[in-house]
Structure 1
Amino acid sequence: MKKNLSSLSDLAGAFGKAPIEHDNTNKVDDDSLVYSTESGRIQHKKAEVITASDGFAHVRRETKGRKGKGVVTISGLGLPSSELKTLAKKLKKTCGTGGTVVGETIEIQGDKREVIKEVLEKEGFKVKFIGG
């Protein structure tokens, strides 16, 4: 009686034991797990933290670290990142300039504080100018 045993389950079957069934549907979420042979690198979902607003949109003109170029930063809005991006897109379009969202602040190129104030007030924010 010569059989070709290619795996451990075949060997267990030869001795009359039932092969072990692995259930892959019951996966445990372990925060310390970095790599798994089943799924590769584990990407943990990070919860977005939104800082609460004090009721004012703080508009500030900055030039520090930008080689003298003026940038208007808007902070204190208390919005999630998706809504910040849509608001930044609207501000960039009305100002006719570039800009970006960094963390919880919106940066708009140039000195367009008055135009930004009008747009933010139409969106329902109270605007406070900070700095000179």
Structure 2
Amino acid sequence: MPNIGTVLKSEISRIARKEVRAETQQLKKTVAQYRGQIAQLRRELQSLQQQLRRQSRKGSPAPRAEAPEEDDDSPSLRFSAKGLAAQRKRLGLSAAAVAKILGVSALSVYKWESGKTRPRARQIEAIASLRRMGKREAMARLAA
């Protein structure tokens, strides 16, 4: 037959575990609510930061004044890595030959075509002129 002391001790520890479990469950619920609120606040903060960036871009007239002047020559210059590769193949040129025509390195053309980097605005203009070029004109520019 068990000792009354051990029975009492086990019963006290059982009741204590039960009470601790109830308290920790309430704390877990509270922590989950706080985490949800924190996530919501982070989303709000990110949204507000994006709005602030947009507003600051709209508020600074100097860059806006320069952009239309550059865009007057060619308002819709876009760049596509696949498009550059297709253009190069259409002209029957190697990456090094295209690089020579554009005045850049062959590695730059390779990186543009693979999508690792993006050309600068001045280089996009040169690529746009390459689009208007035919095979004969491209060969003539290479020879020159």
TM-score above 0.5:
no
Pick the structure with more strand per residue.
Answer: 1
Larger Rg computed on CA atoms: 2
TM-score (normalizing by structure 2): 0.30
For CA contacts below 8 A with separation 6 or more, give which structure has more relative contact order: 1
